[in-house]
Amino acid sequence: MFASERATLAVNQTAILHAAFGVLIVAGFLVSAPLSYGLYGLGAACFIAGIVLARRDSDGSETADSV
């Protein structure tokens, strides 16, 4: 029961991080060059964090909570 709730939460967090990636990349196109580089970097960090979060929760780490 708890594993499915945690999986749903992870999917939502992953979706939020990937949506933030999209918003930051688009915002990077709309601002001047020095600021756009920072937004691209933040976007990339959000995208990578979303992938890491999704992989961490799909590794079967729910076995530690079964105790």
- Residue 64's contacts (CB-CB under 8 Å, 6 or more residues apart) are none
Write the single-letter amino acid at 17.
L
**Which residue did the predictor score with more confidence, 56 or 65?**
56
Region 27-50 average pLDDT: 94
Alpha helix stretches (DSSP H) within the chain:
2-30, 33-58
Two tokens, residue 9: 């939460």
Region 22-43 average pLDDT: 94
CA atoms lying within 13 Å on the CB side of residue 42: 14
Region 14-38 average pLDDT: 93
Write the single-letter amino acid at 51.
I
pLDDT tops 90 at residue 28: yes
State the pLDDT at residue 1. 47
Question: Of all residues in the chain, what percent carry a pLDDT higher than 70?
Answer: 69
